[in-house]
Amino acid sequence: MLRFSGYNLRVFLVLLCFILISGAGWGQQTSSPEIPANPRDLKYPELKYDPPKVGRYRHVLSNGVVVFLAEDHDFPLVNVSVFVRTGSYLDPKGKEGLANMVGSQMRAGGTTTMTAEQFDEEAAFLAAEISSGIGDTQGSANLSCLSKDLGRGLELFFNMLKTPGFQANRIALYKNQVIQGMERRNDESSSIQAREWARLMRGDSHFSTAWSTKNSVESISREDLMAFHQKYYHSGNFIFAVSGDFSTGEMLAKLEKVLQGWPATGEKVPPVPGPQFTPAPGIYVVNKADVNQGRVTLGHLGSMRNNPDYYALTIMNDILGGSGFVSRLMTRVRSDEGLAYSVGSDFGLGIYYDGIFQASFQSKSATVAQATAIVLDEIKKMRTQKVTSGELERAINYRVEVFPRIFATAAAISGTFANDEYTGRPAGFWDSYRARIRAITAEDVLRVAQKYLHPDRLVFLAVGSVDDILKGNPDKPEFALNKFSENGAIKRIPLPDPLTMAYPKE
């Protein structure tokens, strides 16, 4: 007689059930579709997807504030986001870093009725995530909480938005942390590359390159924070995106209540200024002697998002370097030559002013020049040769097939439409997007490449051990960085003092 322990008995019963279930199909003939010999021969049904209509989600409160609501009852959670018309472009001269500090300390510094510690404790008790921040051209704040706690969560959230406390000890802590971060500005080649590339593209007089300094941060007072908040944080500058487990009618009533008595009028934000600067083509290098790889970016100004060639430029860039492992740059620089782990391109289409076209990679110091030559060669080929039918089909199919991801969740729906409202994207953009992408031809790609890619305007920036980069690969002396400059000139950019951002005089 067999004897089983408790564990062995459970295992035996599970196996017995599996055998009995499997045996139910014994003796039956099953048919399955024939498996193709090659994965490329797999056939899929045509994707059927209709994007959501903005009118279903857009609401206007009695004070004129626009709200996008998307219900989702799968989980008992609610997410509230607000887009705020503000940004660091509004920093007064000499107070660089003010907007960033306001965005941080609105959440970290408590409110006029709760200390920072009390606010943190209650948010933690509710398991609510509450955050705020301010970027270059937009402020934001977010609340995520259980739907059962939404009432109190909204009270905390709007208490933060309306009456931040800007607690003194939290401000002091923030300043110390920011200044400590400044001291490391020249430590990483990636941050150096981003900073110097911005200067080469935008100049030193644009807000996007107005770096905060030790002096500017230390000069910011609590009164400065309060004045900035009072000036720009009023409901007339808000657009809301709300998603999750709620009913639309009840949520509208809650928002009406919490916004009651908060006027939607106030100072209108000025337009975002564009840079008054023209990049100067040439070869620029920054010495970072303690690294064995060079970071390279090359490019020039791009265009605007409202450009009628938006769709053709998107496909062109995907084929050149924007589509990962199947792009031309990745195929040649990484797969064929093994010169870089990651390489790609981006054709920037700006909202307020021209974006930036750039191709970037990181390669061993000795092979920087060779990899640069290949990237430049591929840019020139885009202007002289039509893309293949396979490349075009792959790029178009990718854009069409990933399109539903834009609206994959309720949060994505409300957030996308709120962002469109904030940036002024034209109505119907998403309705016609796929048709416009599908209409792109090889002739369109060649035309926009010839019109918008300018090899003669390229700015080259390399960050790394300059001596090693300039030595190049002795086995391939035909590749040299100075060959990419008309007169062979290479301009060295010195590292600035990280606390003052003052550059050594040449």
Contact 302, 279 (CB under 8 A): no
Q: Is there a common fold for 54-259 and 282-492?
A: yes
pLDDT at 24: 45
Name residues whose C-beta falls within 8 Å of residue 165's C-beta, 6 or more positions apart in sequence.
109, 110, 111, 112, 114, 115, 116
Let me know if domain 54-259 sits in CATH 3.30.830.10.
yes
Angle, helices 222-232 vs 98-108, to 10°: value is: 90
Distance of CA 60 to the CA centre of its chain: 28
Q: Does domain 282-492 have CATH number 3.30.1490.20?
A: no
Residue 452: name the closest of 246, 273, 254, 308 by CA. Answer: 308
pTM summary value: 0.89
Identify the residue whose tokens are 């391109």.
Answer: 345
- Pure H helices in 278-367: 310-317, 328-329
Q: Could you give the CA distance from residue 71 to residue 57 in angstroms, rounded to a whole number?
A: 9
φ and ψ of 411, to 5 deg: -65, -40
pLDDT of 170: 98
Report the pLDDT value the prediction gives residue 8, as an integer from 0 to 100: 53
Facing residues of 358 across strands? 299, 346
b/e map 404-413, b = 16+ CB within 10 Å: eeebeebbbb
- HEC profile for 404-443? HHHHCCHHHHHHHHHHHHHHCCCCCHHHHHHHHHHCCCHH
104 three-state secondary structure: helix
Q: In what order do the strands lie in the sheet with 459-464?
A: 343-347, 356-364, 293-301, 459-464, 282-287, 490-492
User: What is the dihedral sign for C-alpha 182, 187, 188, 194?
Assistant: positive
Which residues, in sequence order, are bridge partners of residue 131?
A: 142
Token duo for residue 61: 């409160």
254 touches 151 (CB < 8 A): yes
* E strand or H helix at 282: strand 282-287
113 φ, ψ to 5°? -115, -5
Beta-carbon neighbour count of residue 377 at 10 Å? 12
Per-residue CA distances from 368 to 16, 21, 143, 189, 308 (Å): 63, 62, 46, 15, 36
- Among candidate residues 182, 183, 195, 184, the one with its CA nearest the CA of residue 295: 195
Beta-carbon contacts of residue 267 (< 8 Å; ≥ 6 apart): 231, 232
pLDDT at 261: 86
Tell me how far CA of residue 408 lies from CA of 77, 142, 411, in angstroms: 17, 20, 8
> What is the residue extent of each domain of the chain?
54-259, 282-492
Per-residue pLDDT tens listing for the chain (506 residues): 445 455 454 444 445 544 444 444 444 444 456 788 888 788 877 778 999 999 999 999 999 999 999 999 999 999 999 999 999 999 999 999 999 999 999 999 999 999 999 999 999 999 999 999 999 999 999 999 999 999 999 999 999 999 999 999 999 999 999 999 999 999 999 999 999 999 999 999 999 999 999 999 999 999 999 999 999 999 999 999 999 999 999 999 999 999 998 887 777 899 999 999 999 999 999 999 999 999 999 999 999 999 999 999 999 999 999 999 999 999 999 999 999 999 999 999 999 999 999 999 999 999 999 999 999 999 999 999 999 999 999 999 999 999 999 999 999 999 999 999 999 999 899 999 999 999 999 999 999 999 999 999 999 999 999 999 999 999 999 999 999 988 889 999 999 999 999 999 86
